[in-house]
């Protein structure tokens, strides 16, 4: 019997179909060894030697794996083809005491790829293991050394991470820009012009041969003066420029662009996108989804050419090569379907979200091998004369050949200008002076933050989603207006403290340089312990200095109130905690009376009464989110989950019941109680209907 070890139980089912009865496939359930949670787990005095343990959740998997290894004739390690997967294989070797094993790597879970990998096994790439180990050790040193400082100087329960802190700084700095922004007023002048074959609008661009910039006209009086003069002017066509423009398709997906596009088109959060992509990969539908490469195999391009020519015609195909900027990790392909013949309609029994993401990946790959979309653009310049000479401009564009947009629609505004002759006289039907104001920079969304992190070289394909999840979990950022990201009060305090006292931790260039060093380790160019030592010596020294220098009262200043504590009569003050502001007795820890700050409770929230003692329930916050707790605590310790049975059937799966829930940030939403089997959520209450008997 031949044994194949993977990390995911879902992957076992797919591999067993391909390998046959002579093979047994078992899953480790992820990392079988890791650093301990209860202590640093790194011997800084002994060249940063990691002290790995088998986590509690992994211990139940060890015994069956060891028994299977004893019975196996051959052992194959088939974990994911990246640093994390390589490290999992390495730790399996250590934990199971494997002496003879074969490492197999495939970028897609198809019969051909798996069989080819098994025929050509290799060994564990120690450089990739070291790169993963270096990242793990770096992040542990920062987290376990810096987080306790935040507990002492800010609030208990906070954390600081090497990459998450740099990402938090990006969001915080953008918020500062928005707050410092002051709108500038400016004006534009436009004319609705009539010609023999129709009408079009032209915008003022020049005065007496000098270009007028977008923000140049500052005053209403100046704009109105130009308007009045144009109302008396004579208009004629000055020039007509017509040319063909082509629009190229976007390249195939990388991890980053997949997360960005899924957020923009499907409203999928980054972590949700990666979970769905993992499922599609394990079902053999797409190639490995953690990649920053744009490479496409010759086989994939040939299959794409065949499919496009057969289904759309020869004119829709174009030979293309894509190259990523800078270095890319490992020799991966871009994210693509494993077979174009498996169209979204033929992909089998997929969940709704899986079908949507697969459709997006399939269309993006198909489109990237298709012809350019061709547009016919026209630019008309109009001259207006009175006391002064003015030039107005109008542009139009129409599609002549749809090309790749036949498969992957893109936004474009078709504006066909009327047929017109040079020097043709025009009639001004309406002249307008329009007021405008400059807009502040936009807040980041998940998509634009990932794009910004990638631009600065922060993080790698496997880290974007975990970075965002950590920032949410720590309550450092929050979503407002459904999509925009804003730093919370506690997030800003942490970011400002790190920027002032640990500038290298949040320095974008420093963080990017560290990522380059990790890439160098992966390529065998750098020694991982040297990288750690260069960082740690200065970092540890600074931690010790700042423990003495930073004063908590300078960072976490209390706000006075007129309120007296109903338990001890002491003064109550407004304090800032991990989850925002609250009111607390100043006699803490002798008196631990706390309560929500007025206004935290939603206006439309019904009063909740304790069903044990009849007292009023209060809305409270824990690390797991908000809940109701009895105001008579500690005499009454009754708590109640914020979840209501609404007697409404789930409109998506038709089986579960809709329940009202509250997110960690206090926002009410509606969800199916069959989660995760059904992922229905809605910010609005679904239409009521009776439960089936």
Q: What percent of the chain has pLDDT over 90?
A: 68
Q: Are 28 and 63 in contact (CB under 8 A)?
A: no
Burial of 426 (0-12, 13-18, 19+ CB in 10 A): buried
Q: Which pLDDT band holds residue 378 (cuts at 50, 70, 90)?
A: very high
pLDDT of residue 690: 32
What is the pLDDT at residue 488?
A: 92
Q: In this model, does residue 666 exceed pLDDT 60?
A: no
- Give the separation between CA 19 and CA 668, rounded to whole angstroms: 48
**CATH, range 134-180+442-552:** 1.10.460.10
Pair 199, 429: CB distance under 8 Å: yes
Least confident segment among 197-201, 369-373, 453-457, 552-556: 552-556
Cα–Cα distance measured from residue 298 to residue 304, given in angstroms and rounded to the nearest whole number: 10
Can you give the pLDDT at residue 603? 35
Please answer whether residues 620 and 627 qualify as being in contact, where contact means their C-beta atoms are separated by less than 8 angstroms: yes
pLDDT of residue 38: 87
Asked if pLDDT for residue 624 goes beyond 50, the answer is no
**Phi, psi of 216, rounded to the nearest 5 degrees:** -70, -40
Q: How many CB atoms lie within 10 A of CB 646?
A: 15
Residue 621: pLDDT over 70 = no
Asked whether 639 and 628 are in contact (CB, 8 A), the reply is yes
Using the predicted structure, report yes or no on whether residue 194 has a pLDDT greater than 60. yes
pLDDT, residue 665, reads 54
**Can you give the pLDDT at residue 414?**
84
Give pLDDT, residue 680: 75
Residue 491's CB: how many other CB atoms inside 10 A? 21
Q: Is the model more confident about 490 or about 650?
A: 490
What would the pLDDT profile of 281-325 be if each residue is shown by its tens digit? 999 999 999 999 999 999 999 999 999 999 999 999 999 988 766
Give ranges for CATH 1.10.290.10 in the chain.
255-368
254: helix, coil or strand? coil
Residues 666/667/673/676 CA torsion (nearest 10 deg)? -90
Q: Between these two residues, 575 and 492, which has the higher pLDDT value?
A: 492
The CATH 1.10.460.10 domain(s) of the chain lie at 134-180+442-552
Q: Is residue 471 a contact partner of residue 523, using CB atoms and an 8 Å limit?
A: no
288 an active-site residue?
yes
Q: Which two tokens stand for residue 537?
A: 């010596």
CB 659 within 8 Å of CB 643: yes
Q: Name residue 449's beta-bridge partners.
A: none
Q: What is the per-residue pLDDT for 146?
A: 92
pLDDT at residue 569 is higher than 80 = yes
The packing angle between helices 489-501 and 528-549, to 10°, is 110
Residue 626 clears pLDDT 80, i.e. is over it = no
- In 104-257 the beta strands, taken as DSSP E runs, fall at 185-195, 198-207, 210-211, 234-247
Q: How far apart are alpha carbons 61 and 7 in whole angstroms?
A: 11
Where does 402-515 show beta strands of DSSP type E?
Answer: 425-437, 477-480, 484-487
Token reading at 563: 């309120």
Quick check: 353 pLDDT over 50? yes
Residue intervals in the chain for CATH 2.70.20.10? 185-248+373-437
Angle between helices 270-282 and 352-368 (to 10 degrees): 80
Separation in Å, CA 97 to CA 1, 89, 93: 19, 12, 6
Task: Provide the token pair at 611.
Answer: 């069903």
Instruction: Give the residue-averaged pLDDT of 12-29.
Output: 90
Q: Predicted confidence band at 693 (pLDDT cuts at 50, 70, 90)?
A: very low
Give the 3-state secondary structure of residue 342: coil
pLDDT in the model for residue 325:
64
Residues 91, 89: Cα–Cα separation, whole Å: 5
CB–CB of 76/3 below 8 Å? yes
Sheet containing strand 639-640, strands side by side: 617-622, 625-630, 639-640
Class of domain 2-124: alpha beta
Name which of 187, 186, 221, 227 is nearest 390 in CA terms.
227
**Which residues are CB-contacts of 353 (< 8 A; sequence separation ≥ 6)?**
266, 268, 272, 276, 679
Q: Which of 288, 316, 358, 579 is catalytic?
A: 288
Report yes or no: 314 and 351 within 8 Å, Cβ to Cβ. no
At the second CATH level, the architecture of 185-248+373-437 is: Distorted Sandwich (2.70)
pLDDT at 604: 39
Q: Where in the chain is the domain with CATH 3.40.50.140?
A: 2-124
Is 645's pLDDT higher than 60?
no
pLDDT over 70 at 328, yes or no: no
Q: What pLDDT does 582 receive?
A: 85
User: For 382-413, what is each residue's pLDDT tens digit?
Assistant: 999 988 999 999 999 999 999 999 999 998 88
Q: How far, CA to CA in Å, does 129 sit from each of 29, 536, 547? A: 18, 20, 34
- Omega into 330 within 30° of 0, i.e. cis? no
CATH of 255-368, one of 1.10.287.3510, 3.90.76.10, 1.10.290.10, 3.10.290.10: 1.10.290.10
56-101 confidence digits (pLDDT tens) = 888 888 999 999 999 999 999 999 999 999 999 999 999 999 989 9
Strands (DSSP E) found in 111-270: 185-195, 198-207, 210-211, 234-247
The total number of residues shown for the chain amounts to 693
Q: Is the pLDDT at 454 greater than 50, yes or no?
A: yes
HSE-CB of 577 using CA atoms within 13 angstroms: 16
pLDDT (0 to 100) of residue 331: 55
Integer angstrom CA distances of residue 221 from 170, 211, 387: 40, 19, 17
Q: Cis (ω within 30 of 0) for the bond into 250?
A: no
- 306: nearest Cα among 296, 295, 319: 319
Q: Would the pLDDT of 120 be above 70?
A: yes
Give the pair of three-digit tokens for residue 238: 């000055």
Nearest to 134 by CA among 515, 590, 604: 515
Per-residue pLDDT reduced to its tens digit, 237-280: 999 999 999 999 999 999 999 999 999 999 999 999 999 999 99
pLDDT at 375 over 70: yes
The per-residue pLDDT for 365 is: 97
Query: Shortest CA distance to 425 belongs to which of 242, 234, 241, 239?
Result: 234
Would you call the peptide bond into 589 cis, given omega within 30 degrees of 0 as the criterion? yes
Angle, in degrees to the nearest 10, between helices 255-266 and 464-473: 60
Please write the tens of the pLDDT for every residue from 126-178: 999 999 999 999 999 999 999 999 988 888 888 888 899 999 999 999 999 99
């Amino acid at each position: 019997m031949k044994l194949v070890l993977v990390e995911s139980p879902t992957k076992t089912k797919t591999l067993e179909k391909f390998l046959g009865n002579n093979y047994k496939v078992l899953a480790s359930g992820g990392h079988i060894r890791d650093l301990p949670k209860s202590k640093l787990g790194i011997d800084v005095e002994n060249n940063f030697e990691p002290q790995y343990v088998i986590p509690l959740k992994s211990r139940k998997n060890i015994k069956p794996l060891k028994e299977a290894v004893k019975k196996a004739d051959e052992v194959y390690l088939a974990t994911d083809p990246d640093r994390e997967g390589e490290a999992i294989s390495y730790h399996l070797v250590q934990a199971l005491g494997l002496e003879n094993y074969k490492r197999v790597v495939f970028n897609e879970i198809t019969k051909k790829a798996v069989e080819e990998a098994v025929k050509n096994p290799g060994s564990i790439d120690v450089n990739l293991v070291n790169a993963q180990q270096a990242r793990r050790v770096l992040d542990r040193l920062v987290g376990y050394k810096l987080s306790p400082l935040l507990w002492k100087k800010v609030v208990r329960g906070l954390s600081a991470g090497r990459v998450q802190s740099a990402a938090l700084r990006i969001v915080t700095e953008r918020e500062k820009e928005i707050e410092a922004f002051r709108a500038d007023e400016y004006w534009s002048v436009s004319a609705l012009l009539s010609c023999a074959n129709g009408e079009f609008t032209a915008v003022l661009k020049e005065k007496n041969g000098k270009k007028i910039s977008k923000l140049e006209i500052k005053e209403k009086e100046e704009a109105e003066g130009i308007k009045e003069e144009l109302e008396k002017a004579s208009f004629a066509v000055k020039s007509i420029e017509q040319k063909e423009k082509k629009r190229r398709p976007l390249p195939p997906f990388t991890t980053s662009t997949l997360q960005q596009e899924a957020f923009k088109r499907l409203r999928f959060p980054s972590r949700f996108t990666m979970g769905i992509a993992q499922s599609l990969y394990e079902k053999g539908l797409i190639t490995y989804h953690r990649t920053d490469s744009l490479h496409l195999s010759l086989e994939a391009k040939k299959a794409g050419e065949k499919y496009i020519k057969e289904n759309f015609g020869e004119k829709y195909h174009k030979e293309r090569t894509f190259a990523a900027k800078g270095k890319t990790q490992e020799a991966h392909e871009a994210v693509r379907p494993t077979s174009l013949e498996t169209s979204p309609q033929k992909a089998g029994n997929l969940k709704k979200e899986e079908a949507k993401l697969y459709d997006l990946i399939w269309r993006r790959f198909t489109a990237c091998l298709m012809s350019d979309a061709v547009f016919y653009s026209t630019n008309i310049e109009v001259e207006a004369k009175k006391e002064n000479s003015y030039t107005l401009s109008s542009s139009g564009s129409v599609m002549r050949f749809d090309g790749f947009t036949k498969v992957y629609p893109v936004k474009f505004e078709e504006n066909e200008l009327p047929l017109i002759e040079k020097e043709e006289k025009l009639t001004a039907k309406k002249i307008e002076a329009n007021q405008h104001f400059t807009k502040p920079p936009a807040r980041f969304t998940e998509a634009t933050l990932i794009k910004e992190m990638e631009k600065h070289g922060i993080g790698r394909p496997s880290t974007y989603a975990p970075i965002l999840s950590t920032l949410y979990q720590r309550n450092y950022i929050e979503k407002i207006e459904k999509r925009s990201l804003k730093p919370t009060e506690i997030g800003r305090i942490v970011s400002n403290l790190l920027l002032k006292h640990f500038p290298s931790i949040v320095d974008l260039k420093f963080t990017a340089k560290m990522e380059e060093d990790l890439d160098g380790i992966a390529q065998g160019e750098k020694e991982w312990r040297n990288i750690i030592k260069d960082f740690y010596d200065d970092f540890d020294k600074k931690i010790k200095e700042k423990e003495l220098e930073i004063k908590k009262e300078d960072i976490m200043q209390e706000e006075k109130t007129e309120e007296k504590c109903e338990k001890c009569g002491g003064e109550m003050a407004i304090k800032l905690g991990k989850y925002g502001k609250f009111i607390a007795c100043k006699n803490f820890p002798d008196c631990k009376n706390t309560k929500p700050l007025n206004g935290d409770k939603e206006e439309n929230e019904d009063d909740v009464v304790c069903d044990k003692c009849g007292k009023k329930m209060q809305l409270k916050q824990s690390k797991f989110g908000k809940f109701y707790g009895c105001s008579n605590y500690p005499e009454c310790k009754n708590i109640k989950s914020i979840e209501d049975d609404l007697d409404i059937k789930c409109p998506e799966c038709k089986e579960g019941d809709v329940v009202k829930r509250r997110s960690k940030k206090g926002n009410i939403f509606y969800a199916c109680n069959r989660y995760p089997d059904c992922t229905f959520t809605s910010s609005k209450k679904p239409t009521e209907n009776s439960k089936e008997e």
